[in-house]
Amino acid sequence: MKKSSVVSRSGRFASGPAAEVADFSQSISFDWRLWQHDILGSLAHAAMLQKIGVLTKTELSAIRRGLEQIGEEIATGRFEWKPELEDVHMNIEAELTKRVPAGAKLHTARSRNDQVALDVRLWLRDEIAALVSEVHALQRSLVELGASNAEVIIPGYTHLQRAQPVYFAHHLLAYVEMLERDGGRLEDCYARVNVCPLGSGALAGSTMPLDREFVAKQLGFIDEAGRPQITQNSMDGVSDRDFMVEFCATSALIAVHLSRLAEDVILWFSSEFNFIKIADAYTTGSSLMPQKKNPDVAELTRGKSGRVIGNLVALLTLLKGLPMTYNRDLQEDKERLFDTADTVRACVRLMAAMLANTSVNATVCAAAASDPLLLATDLADYLVKKGMPFRKAHHVVGAVVALAEKSGQPLNRLSLADFQGIDRTFTTDVTSVFDLKKAMSRRKLTGAPGTLEVRKQLARWKKALA
Ligand code: ARG
């Protein structure tokens, strides 16, 4: 059995853990990435310990210097992580204590249970801020692509069947709206991440007169009014992972939104649609078929939504039925959280880059949008404006469409006699219905794909995202 110098076992244990147990239970292989936030948390905790008289000023400066030095070494890859020290918290503390005797006082009134909750909250705050700005960048990419193709009209689809014409920009702006809600959800989630659990101890706080507000303020756990935010129940403080679930749920929804955008891009890039061209740098080839150019960025983004949804389910399952308070099960939270954060951030970034390197085949789009059937509903509205009840108009236009189909003519090539043969309400002005430009200018409702309205929305988003 391999002996270990695990700090948490000193005294109580006659031997270190079996090598296979140490291997099974270590988390350093993935939680090392919390090191910066672990050090930040320790610096704040140490400052507070000095304030309440547990550390002298000299001890505090020695601890500070030691932690900063360790941080330097980690940042430059010179720090040796020891798996036998289990996790990031033990690795840093043990190394500090080796260098600075006062390091042995650092863990006063602190447990790894509140420490890890603190570290993850600190880490996640940065992660959320970074993701929010990536989401905004993706929104900008969408707006830019829409704005630089502002005249392009494509068929809008329901059931993946041609339905009604929309500006290409309008289609893209639908995703800008989704992403805006995603950004809002991330910000909501941030408010609940931004609460300091330090001082919860292992589960029951401490008999030491800690200044929890002081630590919270030091670490920026404050609300908009500058009031320190600290957890109000020590048992909840060490075992709450709701904030991770919220982040993973929000991220899963982002991934789902991205998968829909990816699917549209994949369809548009197919020879069948051919609405867009993605620059070579953002496509890949086939090892066998020399002609292939594949939209792999979009496909991978669509595919990766699976693991992000999986991470959310894994996390919920991890928490389900878990008794109070901290249980080692909770160590399983971090890989799911990290994977979600890394995956979603990469997908958002790559989709933005891909869209910035995408152009629109305006002629192909124009040809698709010129399908007069897209204006069948406009034709019904034309009859309604002449006083016909909509249900009847729907029926009449249905008959017109059937006639066009039977005679092998496009809807807009039927003669006035053809129209009037079905209903006398049609007059010579019926041809004006099929003027696509005019049809688009008739869509004036807020949220509709009308010429002015889409221009207004593009301008609104440009300003909002500037
Ligand atoms: N590595 C642990 C985790 O990620 C830190 C907390 C360990 N606490 C304990 N009592 N063993 O959950």
For residue range 319-345, list pLDDT tens digits in order.
999 999 999 999 999 999 999 999 999
Residue 208 near residue 108 (C-beta atoms within 8 A): yes
Tell me the CATH number at 408.
1.10.40.30
Q: Is residue 278 located within the same domain as residue 399?
A: no
Cα–ligand 1 centroid distance for 212 (angstroms): 21
Domain-terminating residue out of 346, 366, 386: 366
What b/e readout covers 147-163, taking b as 16+ CB neighbours within 10 angstroms? bebeebbbbbeeeeebe
Question: Tens of pLDDT along 10-61?
Answer: 788 888 889 999 999 999 999 999 999 999 999 999 999 999 999 999 999 9
In the predicted model, is pLDDT for residue 92 greater than 80?
yes
Looking at residue 75, its pLDDT comes to 98
What is the distance in angstroms between the CA of the first residue and the CA of the last residue of the chain? Answer: 61
Q: Is residue 228 located within the same domain as residue 180?
A: yes
148 in a structural domain? yes
Residue 422 near residue 414 (C-beta atoms within 8 A): no
Atom of ligand 1 nearest to the CA of 8: 11
Closest CA to ligand 1's atom 12: 331
Closest CA to ligand 1's atom 11: 328
Tell me the CATH number at 247.
1.20.200.10
- Tell me the angle at which helices 168-193 and 451-465 cross, rounded to the nearest 10 degrees: 30
In the predicted model, is pLDDT for residue 81 greater than 50?
yes
Atom of ligand 1 nearest to the CA of 27: 1
7 in a structural domain? no
The stretch 363-382 carries a mean pLDDT of 98
Question: Tens of pLDDT along 125-134?
Answer: 999 999 999 9
Looking at residue 10, its pLDDT comes to 72
- Of the residues 116, 118, 121, 327, which should be mutated to test ligand 1's pocket, given the most ligand atoms within 8 Å of the CB? 116
Cα–ligand 1 centroid distance for 88 (angstroms): 10
Three-state secondary structure call for residue 360: strand
Cα–ligand 1 centroid distance for 328 (angstroms): 6
Rounded to an integer, what distance in angstroms lies between the CA atom of residue 430 and that of residue 419?
9
pLDDT band at 417 (very low <50, low <70, confident <90, very high): very high
Rounded to an integer, what distance in angstroms lies between the CA atom of residue 291 and that of residue 111?
60
Question: Tens of pLDDT along 168-185?
Answer: 999 999 999 999 999 999
Residue 298 near residue 262 (C-beta atoms within 8 A): yes
Catalytic residues: 159, 286
State the chain's mean pLDDT as an integer: 96
Domain interval for residue 382: 371-434
Share of the chain above pLDDT 90, in %: 94
Question: Is the alpha carbon torsion for 228, 233, 235, 236 positive or negative?
Answer: negative
Radius of gyration of the chain (CA): 31
Looking at residue 3, its pLDDT comes to 43
Rounded to an integer, what distance in angstroms lies between the CA atom of residue 48 and that of residue 278?
55
Cα–ligand 1 centroid distance for 428 (angstroms): 79
Q: Is residue 234 located within the same domain as residue 349?
A: yes
Residue 413 near residue 403 (C-beta atoms within 8 A): no
Looking at residue 8, its pLDDT comes to 65
218 in a structural domain? yes
Three-state secondary structure call for residue 373: helix
Q: Is residue 161 located within the same domain as residue 223?
A: yes
Question: Tens of pLDDT along 425-438?
Answer: 999 999 999 999 99
Atom of ligand 1 nearest to the CA of 334: 4
In the predicted model, is pLDDT for residue 2 greater than 60?
no
Cα–ligand 1 centroid distance for 243 (angstroms): 18
14 in a structural domain? no
Q: Is residue 155 located within the same domain as residue 257?
A: yes
Residue 276 near residue 358 (C-beta atoms within 8 A): yes
36 in a structural domain? yes
Question: Tens of pLDDT along 180-210?
Answer: 999 999 999 999 999 999 999 999 999 999 9
What residues have CB less than 8 Å from 373, skipping those under 6 apart? 162, 401, 411
In the predicted model, is pLDDT for residue 309 greater than 90?
yes
Q: Is residue 347 located within the same domain as residue 206?
A: yes
Which tokens is 134 given? 């990536």
* Number of domains composing the chain: 3
28 in a structural domain? yes
447 in a structural domain? no
Task: Give the residue carrying structure tokens 């270590």.
Answer: 26
Looking at residue 282, its pLDDT comes to 96
Q: Is residue 131 located within the same domain as residue 258?
A: yes
Domain-terminating residue out of 318, 349, 366: 366
pLDDT band at 238 (very low <50, low <70, confident <90, very high): very high
- Of the residues 85, 315, 324, 328, which should be mutated to test ligand 1's pocket, given the most ligand atoms within 8 Å of the CB? 328
Rounded to an integer, what distance in angstroms lies between the CA atom of residue 450 and that of residue 137?
26
Residue ranges around ligand 1 (CB below 6 Å) = 27, 31, 87, 112-113, 116, 326, 328, 330-331, 334
Q: Is residue 85 located within the same domain as residue 182?
A: no
Q: Is residue 277 located within the same domain as residue 407?
A: no
Q: Is residue 68 located within the same domain as residue 204?
A: no
The stretch 55-71 carries a mean pLDDT of 98
Atom of ligand 1 nearest to the CA of 88: 1
What residues have CB less than 8 Å from 163, skipping those under 6 apart? 155, 156, 157, 374
Looking at residue 6, its pLDDT comes to 52
Cα–ligand 1 centroid distance for 431 (angstroms): 74
Closest CA to 258 of 293, 309, 292: 309
In the predicted model, is pLDDT for residue 149 greater than 90?
yes
In the predicted model, is pLDDT for residue 318 greater than 60?
yes
Question: Tens of pLDDT along 446-465?
Answer: 999 999 999 999 999 999 99
pLDDT band at 7 (very low <50, low <70, confident <90, very high): low
464 in a structural domain? no
- Of the residues 82, 84, 87, which should be mutated to test ligand 1's pocket, given the most ligand atoms within 8 Å of the CB? 87
Closest CA to ligand 1's atom 3: 331
Q: Is residue 156 located within the same domain as residue 292?
A: yes
The stretch 60-88 carries a mean pLDDT of 97
In the predicted model, is pLDDT for residue 1 greater than 90?
no
Q: Is residue 303 located within the same domain as residue 173?
A: yes
- Of the residues 25, 35, 82, 331, which should be mutated to test ligand 1's pocket, given the most ligand atoms within 8 Å of the CB? 331
What residues have CB less than 8 Å from 32, skipping those under 6 apart? 81, 88, 91
Cα–ligand 1 centroid distance for 275 (angstroms): 52
Q: Lowest mean pLDDT of 16-20, 165-169, 255-259, 262-266, name the range.
A: 16-20
What residues have CB less than 8 Å from 53, skipping those under 6 apart? none
Q: Give the burial class of 51: count Cβ atoms within 10 A of its Cβ; 0-12 exposed, 13-18 middle, 19 or more buried.
A: middle
In the predicted model, is pLDDT for residue 420 greater than 60?
yes
Looking at residue 16, its pLDDT comes to 85
Looking at residue 427, its pLDDT comes to 98
Domain-terminating residue out of 108, 135, 154: 108
